[in-house]
Amino acid sequence: MHDASGSRPAATARSTAAAVVRADSGRVQAAVRLRPAEPGNPALDRISELAARLLGARSAQVNLIDDVLVVAGGAGGAATTVGDEMPVEESFCGLAVADRAPVVIRDAPADDRVRDLHWVTGGQIGAYLGAPLQGSDGNTVGTLCVFDPQPHAWSDADAGVLAQLAASAATELELAALVREYERVRVSWRLAIDAGGVGAFDWDLRTGELTWDERLIAMFGYEPDGFDHTIEAFNARVHPADLPRVSEALQNSIETRGAFECEYRVALPSGETRWVQARGRTLTDAEGTATRFLGAAYDTTDMHTEDVRVTRVLEAMPAGFYSLDRDWRFTHVNAEAERLLWHSRDELLGELLWDAFPAAVNSVFEEHYRTAVRTGRPTSFDAYYPPPLDGWYEVRAWPSPDGLAVYFVEVTERRQVQDRAERSAQRLSLLAQVSSELAGSLDAQAATAHLPRLVVPALADWCIVTLVDDDGRLRDVGHWHADPAQRPLVARYAASRLDAMPATGPVGRALLSGEPVHSPAHEVLAMLPPGEAHDALELLGPEGGVALPLRARGRTLGVLTLFFRRGWTPRQEDLATAQDVADRAGLALDNARLYRQQQQLAEGLQRSLLTEPPEPDHVEVAVRYVPAAEAARVGGDWYDAFLQPCGATMLVIGDVVGHDTQAAAAMGQLRGLLRGIATYSDAPPAEVLRGLDASMAVLATDVLATAAVARLEQSSDERARGVTRLRWANAGHLPPLVLQADGSVADLASWHGDLMLGVDPEAVRQESVVTLDRGATVLLYTDGLVERRDSDLDAGVLRLRQVLAELAALPLERLLDEVLERLVDGRPEDDVALVAVRLHPQDRPRPAEAGANRVPDVVPGDPASP
């Protein structure tokens, strides 16, 4: 194999190769002989397609090279070029033919010999692999090549595969040429007969005189005046080895008054031997006495010469060939067919096909052979023949007036390679599907319970998956059978087997050892006591099974049990794939277990920090927290409501950047700092946020957060007028919404968004003040309530405003529940925190739905307040 990465200039290298190719006149004549009369040969196209598929290339061609290159077969992008011609200098293939060896070009643009070709500069060919085609006379007549727009790292093994396929392509070309030549000779022979190339004879049995016409006299090598008109003159020319047979046939025709037909050799005085085919009939007189023998003869030497040549080519073919007559008897068997069929030609010639190979009866072989003979059309197929041959064969059969000709090659190894590749692809596809199922479900146990439907029938005939509960109990959570009629029986077995199976059974041993456990069915039946499980397994009748542990991080979380039908032994690669499936399921289950622990820890931490709100007189405060439905997204959202020393009610909503236990811990730290700052003094919202930002910088918390702080204030005059002031400040958070008593919804102010916390502790914080009527409701919320992957934040806020307006008449607690139900359906993509306050009228008793009052009315700005 030549790796085409040399340094010769491109045009020079190809011109030199073209000159070498054209200079060999014997090679050129051999290529011309094999050149098809018309473009298109399905067998060459199939070989091209197989080469492209096995070697991972986009295109493949079979090319013949005489003075020019002609495309004889193609696949992929080359399929449309069949029949095209091109100069040898403009091709890659001249290099392979000149060197008489495979040529591999892994990166065409970087190769000095071909990089200037327009196929390369135009991007059609980035890599090339070509193997020479060798004719039956030993001449290199062309190439089988594969090519691709992208570079390829083709190996010596790839070149070997292509060389094997090239031998098949060469054989196909030889067969096609042979058929053309054979048909040409037949046509010539028939034309010769039609043109009068037949000699006549008349033998008078009473006088013994034998009369020949001029053509027959010349055919037997006599001069007109040298033939003595006797049967002895005839016998003198018949080959001595054939004379007894010919004389016997003549005598039999005379005695039986029947027809005569015989082919024999004629030995001429020049030493040349020719073949003659004769036919005749005995004539009788009125009494039935044989009187004359009339007939005709013609020269069949050309036919026999061609038959010898055909036989020579057939014997040299690296493929099996045999021919059958109209009665399905063998008439020719070449040497390769003897080897592939494990029978000598002496054993097969004259033998009936169906007797010699009884397994072919009622098989795909018989179906295709009889169809070809019935329709007169060639056929091709791949088929398996059972022992003793025990192999796969690629077969081509074409009918003729004489019967059927069959060309075949053994492709068992190729099929095995293809089967292994297909099984490997199926296993990879199965593993990818399993991974997708496990990764795409939030419920790992439910996804694992679905595994039997994925592994059956690819890896087993039926399957049961068993899981270990958190309390250590075993449960069969899923099962499946390839036969729908058996599925109810599998369900019966799965429902009863764990209670009946001892701890030493396959499932128990796999759980304890963490290793696969193989068990024949009779051993499992012996373990089961009489009852439902025993009866169901006996009816299912498996050969045996294997229990595969679901393993992860040193733990065994369940068992995947595969069962196989009688007479079936699972392949090792299938068992390895099944264990990979089991391990992936085990890892998914363990990840789900760890996630639940982490989520419970984070959510517990967060909920422990989110305390119940105060309940001052005539002010109802309600809070909600809902963790995210996805993954470990419990994080930094928080709410708070408390009283300052002056008696003012403070409302807080915040969101720490991040979604994990670290964010939840940071949330707790910030919440505590803010509470401390706000409850140590009567600082207003802006000052509370400024103090929190400064504390975060001093403590180097290294977190970012948004927050909104609001304070309810009321003077005596405002109390008398039934209004309350809301003072609030915003550190990058969404602004609060106000639901008025009349059901209208308004923003507290245009959102200008001060810097979020953790960016600049020197940032100036602004405050806004709004006056609220009694009966109004203020809502503070985090972005998890309004954000969606499929819409922007503004659209989410608009939805929230619409929902609030629709629910304005509801009590506050129900209002929050309905808001969550409508906007996140109980399963938010991000965690959600809400804090809401409703101002009830102060000139009437506190409403019952607001709950008992635990805090006296104390509002800053009221001189009467302590």
Specify the pLDDT at position 121: 92
Q: Report the pLDDT averaged over residues 336-341.
A: 90
Q: Report the pLDDT averaged over residues 86-102.
A: 91
Q: What is the pLDDT of residues 714-756, one digit of tens each?
A: 888 888 888 999 999 999 999 899 999 899 998 765 556 689 9
Q: What is the pLDDT of residues 604-636, one digit of tens each?
A: 655 565 567 777 767 899 998 887 765 445 568
Specify the pLDDT at position 101: 92
Q: Report the pLDDT averaged over residues 126-131.
A: 95
Q: Report the pLDDT averaged over residues 364-369.
A: 95
Task: Tell me the C-alpha to C-alpha distance, in Å, between residue 823 and each of 254, 639, 657, 799.
Answer: 111, 19, 22, 8
Q: Report the pLDDT averaged over residues 520-541.
A: 92
Specify the pLDDT at position 800: 93
Query: H/E/C letters for each residue in 90-138?
Result: HCCHHHHHHHCCCEEECCHHHCCCCCCCHHHHCCCCCEEEEEEEECCCC
Confidence class of residue 309 from pLDDT cuts 50, 70 and 90?
low
Q: What is the pLDDT of residues 197-236, one digit of tens each?
A: 688 899 999 999 999 988 899 999 999 888 999 999 999 9
pLDDT of 843 over the 80 cut: no
Q: Report the pLDDT averaged over residues 426-443.
A: 76
> Which neighbouring-strand residues pair with 142?
64, 133
Confidence class of residue 855 from pLDDT cuts 50, 70 and 90?
very low
**Beta-strand relationship, 259-267 and 273-284:** antiparallel
Q: What is the pLDDT of residues 372-416, one digit of tens each?
A: 999 999 999 999 999 888 889 999 999 988 899 999 998 888 888
What percentage of the chain carries pLDDT values higher than 70? 89
pLDDT of 11 over the 80 cut: no
Specify the pLDDT at position 202: 92
Specify the pLDDT at position 149: 94
Q: Report the distance separating Cα 195 and Cα 212, nearest Å.
A: 19
Specify the pLDDT at position 711: 94
What integer best gives the mean pLDDT of the chain? 86
Residue, of 338 and 664, whose pLDDT is higher = 338
Tokens of 764: 């100036």
What percentage of the chain carries pLDDT values higher than 90? 48
Identify which of 64, 61, 62 has the alpha carbon closest to the alpha carbon of residue 35: 64
Confidence class of residue 856 from pLDDT cuts 50, 70 and 90?
very low
Q: Report the pLDDT averaged over residues 180-190.
A: 69
**Alpha-helix residue ranges (DSSP H) falling in 552-642:** 572-609
Confidence class of residue 8 from pLDDT cuts 50, 70 and 90?
very low
pLDDT of 2 over the 70 cut: no
Confidence class of residue 7 from pLDDT cuts 50, 70 and 90?
very low
Residue, of 863 and 576, whose pLDDT is higher = 576
pLDDT of 246 over the 90 cut: yes
Helix, strand and coil percent figures for the chain, each rounded to 5: 40, 25, 30
pLDDT of 488 over the 90 cut: yes
Specify the pLDDT at position 569: 82
Q: Report the pLDDT averaged over residues 356-364.
A: 93
**Alpha-helix residue ranges (DSSP H) falling in 701-792:** 716-721
Confidence class of residue 852 from pLDDT cuts 50, 70 and 90?
very low
Tokens of 115: 């990089």
Q: Report the distance separating Cα 247 and Cα 234, nearest Å.
A: 10
Q: Tell me if 446 sits within 8 A of 467, measured CB to CB.
A: no
Cβ neighbours, 10 Å, residue 87: 12
Tokens of 468: 């270990």
Q: Can you point out the beta strands (E) in 732-841? A: 737-739, 745-747, 768-773, 777-781, 832-839
Q: Report the pLDDT averaged over residues 662-668.
A: 81
Specify the pLDDT at position 37: 79
Instruction: Write the DSSP symbol of residue 838.
Output: E
Q: Which helix (H) or strand (E) holds 70?
A: strand 69-76
Specify the pLDDT at position 64: 94
Q: What is the pLDDT of residues 744-792, one digit of tens each?
A: 998 765 556 689 999 999 999 999 899 999 889 999 999 989 988 888 8
Tokens of 177: 């040429």
Q: What is the pLDDT of residues 325-335, one digit of tens each?
A: 999 999 889 98
Q: Considering only 69-73, 287-291, 424-428, 528-532, which range has the smallest mean pLDDT?
A: 424-428
